[in-house]
Amino acid sequence: MSVQWPANEPARLEALQRYAVLDTLPEQAFDDLTQLAALICQAPVALISLTDARRQWFKARVGFDVREIPRERAFCDQAVRQESLLVIEDTLEDERFRDTPLVVSGPRARFYAGAPLRTGDGFVLGTLCVLDLVPRRLTGTQVEALEALGRQVVAQLELRRQLQELERAARERAASEEYRHLFQHANDAILIFAPEGEIVLDVNDKACEVYGRPREQFIGMSLRAISVDPTRGDHELRRLLRGGTDHHFETTQLRSDGTPIHFQIRSSVIEFRGRSAVLSINRDVTAQVHAQQALARSEEHLRQSQKMQSLGALAGGVAHDFNNLLTVIVASSDLVLRHLPADSRERPHIDDVLQAGRRAATLTRQLLAFGRRQQLARQLIDLNTSIGDVMKLIRRIIGEDIEIEVRPGSGLPLIFADPAQIEQVVMNLAVNARDAMPDGGRLTLETSPVELDAAALADHPHALPGRYARLEVRDTGVGMNPATLARIFEPFFTTKDPGKGTGLGLAVVDGIIEQHEGFLEVASTPGLGTTFRVFLPEEVGERVSSVPGVRVVRGGSETILVAEDEPMVRSLAHEILTGLGYTVLLARDGVEAVEMFREHQRSCDLVMLDVVMPRLGGREAYAQIRALAPDMPVLLVTGYSPELAEQRSPDSDVTLVLQKPYDLELLEGKVREALDRRPASTR
């Protein structure tokens, strides 16, 4: 027998599912009603039968061991479609059922009566039925009783459903209260928002705290309004909605005051108040991100420092050799010029050689500057004064097509600096600004005092909190893109045409500022201009000025021991000093210098030592000579300033330094100064 579906079958099946009774365990109330039906109808078999799309399932059974049978074998299917009491007095006489398995085989039913289980909204879920093994009839009382019991089964089903709903509501209420507690007291910000427009539906207390917004302001606003990159947010939302499962990503959003917050976000699709929504758990990882950024900056600073140290070591070595050669060029040219008549035709050529040597010496000093290896003559200075001293020269080289404005700030702290080097910084920055404004523009130099704490110095780990003198150099030039900005302090990097720049200007600035315990900041926008900010720390302690005293240039008759490994420099020093009337003893290295000093100690008035020499360097020879004669004046000669950092004795009155390359006046002055500083007992 094929199944004939009732017209309302989909709705009937949906109604059956709402009762959630199929495949449940036996229940006493239904068993009692089934037993009562069997007793009243005096039938060996009684069943509460529920019919779904494919089967007839028995909620309660009397005299029948099977839990379910296929729907096409069921008497109840006809009762469901008939929607009224179905009585079959003899199944063998009814052509609809005579060939069904329940009739021709076990239990070989010959009688069937089934009362429909009709719900309040008119759907027949199944039957309360009785079966017998012989043909028979029900009395009128039995029919009424069977129908009444069927209504009781439906009432019991309804009561059962209501109890289940009450229990579910209680569970949901408890779960909701627990959820609300967890929601409100979570350590992460939690937001629930509608996918359409990303409109916020609910937030927890942590979200209000992290974002700095009250709940009333949050509800109804779009998350796009606080997203740094709304397009990225839209992309991640689409990925979540496509996948339908947990989605993880990182993003940046804004507090109410505009401060960016970095989040790790875990989101999922949920049902919220009867609608689809997104649950977003946002973990604030701003501190971790800042720590990672600080670490990256420190690593980059370390790499840059190591690179500069390597370049500085290279520059120092080059400078040492160059300065030996330049000493010969500069001093020899100066010596020749002294002996040439004023109207000599050779004089201009020799003067050109001298000037070229001095320019080469300047380039060597720049190499030492970007390598942080030059000698500084530091003293307490006012930054405004240094800028004022160099402005006349700046105005001359900048040109009339660029407007210059100087804004000196008041209350500027004093700094401990080398005035010449600070002027070099100002000059280099001004020239750099000029070159960035080929069609003219505006150059502004402004100073101001600033107080910087540890947070403000996060990007400058070697700087100390305190007061700083700040110099801003602003131009309205072409500006720089990020790629160029990242390389501007690299030695020899330049964007200028060949022959128009060495690429050392800003590297020198960076080196000078670092040697002065300061730091630089740069901001630039292509097409709008560039701003350099120089920060130099206030001098709060007392330091001894390293500015040399005034030299009195004159010769003498004293004896000077000169130790120099470079033959040309040694010969030149001999010629200059003997020309001034001095007696000169020459040594080729530190070993010879110590031996000659032991031999001529009584007649020796000054020892002049090159710091870098073979066999025994100047510092070692210096130590041995001072051990023999503690009051002996020593003039240390170097083309490489850091050698002296370890060598100089701040408490010594008899040690001076002569920087290569030197000219006649500088050599004469330093020698005379060293001799005049001898203790009276040694003269």
Domain map (residue ranges) of the chain? 9-164, 186-284, 298-370, 379-537, 559-682
**Phi, psi at 446, each rounded to 5°:** -135, 135
Q: Is the pLDDT of residue 551 over 50?
A: no
| Proportion of the chain above pLDDT 70, given as a percent | 85
Q: Residue range 386-394: average pLDDT? A: 86
Q: What is the pLDDT of residue 597?
A: 94
**pTM value?**
0.42
Helices and strands in the chain: count of H runs, count of E runs: 19, 23
Q: What is the pLDDT of residue 245?
A: 65
Q: What is the pLDDT of residue 403?
A: 92
Q: What is the pLDDT of residue 92?
A: 92
CB of 534 closer than 8 Å to CB of 471: yes
Q: Is the pLDDT of residue 229 over 80?
A: yes
Q: Is the pLDDT of residue 62 over 90?
A: yes
Q: Is the pLDDT of residue 534 over 90?
A: yes
Separation between Cα atoms, residue 285 and residue 291, nearest integer Å: 10
Q: Is the pLDDT of residue 542 over 60?
A: no
The per-residue pLDDT of the chain, averaged, comes to 83
Condensed to tens digits (0 to 9), the pLDDT of residues 92-141 reads 998 888 888 788 877 889 999 999 999 988 899 999 999 999 999 999 99
End-to-end Cα separation, the chain, in angstroms: 140
Q: What is the pLDDT of residue 373?
A: 53
Condensed to tens digits (0 to 9), the pLDDT of residues 453-470 reads 988 888 887 888 999 999
Separation between Cα atoms, residue 44 and residue 107, nearest integer Å: 11
pLDDT band at 58, cuts 50/70/90? very high
Residue 541: both structure tokens together: 């302690």
Q: What is the pLDDT of residue 375?
A: 60
Q: What is the pLDDT of residue 548?
A: 47
Which among 622, 657, 618 has a CA at the least distance from the CA of 377? 657
CATH code, 379-537: 3.30.565.10
More confident residue, 502 or 115: 115
Residues 6+ apart with CB under 8 A from 319: 364, 367, 368, 373, 639, 640
Q: Residue range 145-163: average pLDDT? A: 91
pLDDT band at 233, cuts 50/70/90? confident
- Specify the pairing of strand 45-51 against strand 55-62: antiparallel
pLDDT band at 541, cuts 50/70/90? low
Least confident range of 25-34, 202-211, 310-319, 446-455: 310-319
Q: Is the pLDDT of residue 645 over 50?
A: no
| Proportion of the chain above pLDDT 90, given as a percent | 36
pLDDT band at 320, cuts 50/70/90? low
More confident residue, 142 or 554: 142
Could you tell me where the DSSP H helices lie in 414-537?
A: 419-435, 482-485, 505-515
* Fold of the CATH domain 559-682: Rossmann fold (3.40.50)
Q: Is the pLDDT of residue 642 over 60?
A: no
Q: Is the pLDDT of residue 173 over 90?
A: no
Q: Same CATH topology for 9-164 and 298-370?
A: no
Q: Residue range 517-543: average pLDDT? A: 87
Q: What is the pLDDT of residue 406?
A: 93
Least confident range of 59-63, 221-225, 374-378, 588-592: 374-378
More confident residue, 505 or 417: 417
Q: Is the pLDDT of residue 624 over 60?
A: yes
Dihedral (Cα; 204, 205, 208, 210), 10-degree rounding = -100
Does residue 661 have a cis peptide bond before it, meaning omega lies within 30 degrees of 0?
yes
DSSP letter at 479 equals: -
186-284 sits in which CATH class? Answer: alpha beta
**Phi, psi at 171, each rounded to 5°:** -65, -45
Q: Is the pLDDT of residue 546 over 60?
A: no
Q: What is the pLDDT of residue 649?
A: 44
CATH code, 9-164: 3.30.450.40
Could you tell me where the DSSP H helices lie in 54-105?
A: 75-82, 101-104
CATH match of 298-370 with 3.40.50.720? no
Q: What SS3 class is residue 392? A: helix
Q: Is the pLDDT of residue 362 over 50?
A: yes
- Specify the pairing of strand 519-525 against strand 529-537: antiparallel
